[in-house]
Amino acid sequence: MTPKVRLHLDQPLVPGQPLQLDRDQSNYLFAVMRLEVGQSILAFNGRDGEWVATVAAASKRGGELFVQHQTRPVQLPPDLWLMFAPIKKARTDFIVEKATELGAARIMPVMTEYTNAERIRQDRLQAHAVEATEQCGGTFVPVVDDLQPLSRVLAGWQPGRQLLWCDEAMVGASRPLTDLPRGPWAVLIGPEGGFSAAEQARLRALPFVHALSLGPRILRADTAAVAALTLWQAALGDWG
Amino acid sequence: MTPKVRLHLDQPLVPGQPLQLDRDQSNYLFAVMRLEVGQSILAFNGRDGEWVATVAAASKRGGELFVQHQTRPVQLPPDLWLMFAPIKKARTDFIVEKATELGAARIMPVMTEYTNAERIRQDRLQAHAVEATEQCGGTFVPVVDDLQPLSRVLAGWQPGRQLLWCDEAMVGASRPLTDLPRGPWAVLIGPEGGFSAAEQARLRALPFVHALSLGPRILRADTAAVAALTLWQAALGDWG
């Protein structure tokens, strides 16, 4: 029987390896999920795939697991970043959850001229990405960066990486994504108020930027993020 | 200046038409939004596009608006249905919101063998579709049906309508959506537990069913709904 509980443990996962649990993990497994010695969970660390690990010692203050066998190899995402302007808390959480599910490798909150948020709780968003990976059965946790200005990210742009810009002002069809080069990419979603005229002009002038239309309707930022990641994955990612 | 408040009013919208407000609408406009006589809102009814309407009488128990001029024609969605198995309340609400934004014409909750919900609040979900249309600037409100068994929907299937089935068991690439016929379509998303073996066999045997792969990762039902609607709209809908 496949264990029901999945847990992210930042420790090496190799057969026979003992895993020490901290207080939070122990509390979750033994107080909340009521696991007992001899029962198993699925463990992953983001690098070594998914493993069955069995409870060797159960205590709410600190328990120990024992790594058994691998159930799945690690499934790395394509080299895809999601850049987005943070919005309301619940919808920002949602974007992190969905980017994790859809297979983004890195999640970059960026500050634009019309972004309301001036800071984010990076640790909380990273924990949210871990939780989303635990729940969706993934074996890789995307890195969540701290908030940084879009202008600085663009100024220090990594050579060779393409940027798919969801341009609300774009009318009509964009170039088919399948015609674009494969390789490292980023997807950029604007804030609810859109990009400023200066930001739009700058993005349009950058050689690595490709505009994408998401249809004739106004989409919320969280919807646009899911839609753009989906179109990218289907055309240039690992969904093909 | 464009009015900030958008309101769905199920009344004819033609120039000079007076619009009577009920108690809820009056309370929202005059108590919550604090509009006064002479100020304007944007009104739509799902058929006649978007109009500027000006407050002629303001009272929390019942006010009156006066229709001025049209700001946008109605934008009808393609003939696309979203069929999905209801999940937890918040995520079902989310599916209705996203289907509205993405341009589905009809939203059909269906009961499958592994669906937990046995009833839904159709009136609440329909109100949620209205609210999503108000907020996303749309001019068309999709119809939300009451819950019905998937088996019955399939048995009474409308001739000429194609069905895009998001098949979790599918491995590898599906046929490119752009190769499929245009016209009336439905998208079908399963419950968190997937479809039963009998349901899968039935779907596979139906001539109007086309399977779609959403990549190698497990997606939540709400993510799958957004992803499938996006791929359909980009390939066969009005995003092109």
- Asked if residue B106 lies in contact with residue B82, where contact means CB atoms within 8 angstroms, the answer is yes
Closest approach of chain A CAs to the CA of B135, in angstroms?
9
Residues B177 and B223 in one domain: yes
Q: Number of Cβ pairs closer than 8 Å across A and B?
A: 89
Chain A interface residues facing chain B, Cβ-Cβ under 8 Å?
Answer: 75, 98, 101-103, 135-138, 173, 213-220, 223, 226-227, 230-231, 233-234, 237-240
Q: Which of B72, B92, B119 is the last residue of a domain?
A: B72
Residue A18 domain-assigned? Answer: yes
Residues A171 and A90 in one domain: yes
- Taking the alpha carbons of A131, A133, A139, A142 in that order, is the dihedral positive or negative? negative
Q: pLDDT tens for residues A151-172? A: 999 999 999 999 999 987 776 6
Residues B28 and B129 in one domain: no
- Asked if residue B58 lies in contact with residue B30, where contact means CB atoms within 8 angstroms, the answer is yes
Would you state the pLDDT for residue B111?
Answer: 96
Residue A1 domain-assigned? Answer: no
Tokens in use for A143? Answer: 């890195």
Domain harbouring A192, CATH code:
3.40.1280.10
Closest approach of chain B CAs to the CA of A86, in angstroms?
18
- Asked if residue A169 lies in contact with residue A213, where contact means CB atoms within 8 angstroms, the answer is no
Residues A28 and A137 in one domain: no
Residues B40 and B91 in one domain: no
Chain B interface residues facing chain A, Cβ-Cβ under 8 Å?
Answer: 75, 98, 101-103, 135-138, 173, 213-220, 223, 226-227, 230-231, 233-234, 237-240
- Spans in chain B with pLDDT lower than 50: none
Angle between the N-to-C axes of helices A89-102 and A122-136, in degrees from 0 to 180, rounded to the nearest 10 = 50
Residue A81 Cα distances to A145, A233, B239, angstroms? 11, 12, 24
Angle between the N-to-C axes of helices A89-102 and A221-236, in degrees from 0 to 180, rounded to the nearest 10 = 10
The rounded distance, in Å, linking the Cα atoms of B186 and A208 is 37
Residue A219 Cα distances to A215, B34, B47, B136, B184, angstroms? 9, 27, 20, 7, 23
- Asked if residue B29 lies in contact with residue B3, where contact means CB atoms within 8 angstroms, the answer is no
Would you state the pLDDT for residue B160?
Answer: 96
Residue A204 domain-assigned? Answer: yes
Would you state the pLDDT for residue A13?
Answer: 96
Would you state the pLDDT for residue A173?
Answer: 61
Mean pLDDT, range A87-108, rounded to an integer: 94
Residue B1 domain-assigned? Answer: no
Would you state the pLDDT for residue A155?
Answer: 97
CA B181 to chain centre: 22
Domain harbouring B11, CATH code:
2.40.240.20
Q: What are phi and psi of B82, to 5 degrees?
A: -110, 120
Would you state the pLDDT for residue B173?
Answer: 62
Note whether A173 contacts B238, CB cutoff 8 Å: no
* B41: β partners: B53
The rounded distance, in Å, linking the Cα atoms of B92 and A194 is 27
Q: What are phi and psi of B7, to 5 degrees?
A: -140, 135
Residues A98 and A51 in one domain: no
The rounded distance, in Å, linking the Cα atoms of A56 and B166 is 41
Would you state the pLDDT for residue B90?
Answer: 85
DSSP code of residue A76:
P
Residues A12 and A117 in one domain: no
SS3 B108: strand
Residues A42 and A92 in one domain: no
pLDDT greater than 70 at residue A12? yes
Residues A149 and A208 in one domain: yes
What residue numbers bound the domain in which A160 lies? Answer: 80-236
Residues A137 and A156 in one domain: yes
Tell how many helices (H) and how many strands (E) occur in chain B.
6, 12
* B65: β partners: B19, B55
Mean pLDDT, range A178-197, rounded to an integer: 93
What single string gives the DSSP state of each residue in B89-132? HHHHHHHHHHHHHHT-SEEEEEE-TT---S---HHHHHHHHHHH
Cβ contacts of B135 on chain A, cutoff 8 Å? 220
Residue B119 domain-assigned? Answer: yes
Q: Number of structural domains, chain B?
A: 2
Q: What are phi and psi of B69, to 5 degrees?
A: -135, 160
The rounded distance, in Å, linking the Cα atoms of B76 and B104 is 9
Cβ contacts of A227 on chain B, cutoff 8 Å? 102, 226, 230
Q: Which of A72, A91, A114 is the last residue of a domain?
A: A72
Interface test with A, best of B75, B94, B101, B220 (most A CBs within 10 A): B101
Residues B88 and B203 in one domain: yes
- A73: confidence class by pLDDT, cuts 50, 70, 90: very high
- Asked if residue B161 lies in contact with residue B184, where contact means CB atoms within 8 angstroms, the answer is yes
Residue A171 domain-assigned? Answer: yes
Mean pLDDT, range A91-95, rounded to an integer: 93
Q: pLDDT tens for residues B4-18? A: 899 999 999 999 999
Q: Which of B72, B96, B118 is the last residue of a domain?
A: B72
- Asked if residue B165 lies in contact with residue B225, where contact means CB atoms within 8 angstroms, the answer is no
Would you state the pLDDT for residue B102?
Answer: 97
Residue B202 domain-assigned? Answer: yes
Residue A41 domain-assigned? Answer: yes
- Asked if residue B162 lies in contact with residue B120, where contact means CB atoms within 8 angstroms, the answer is no
Residues B55 and B91 in one domain: no
The rounded distance, in Å, linking the Cα atoms of B234 and A224 is 13
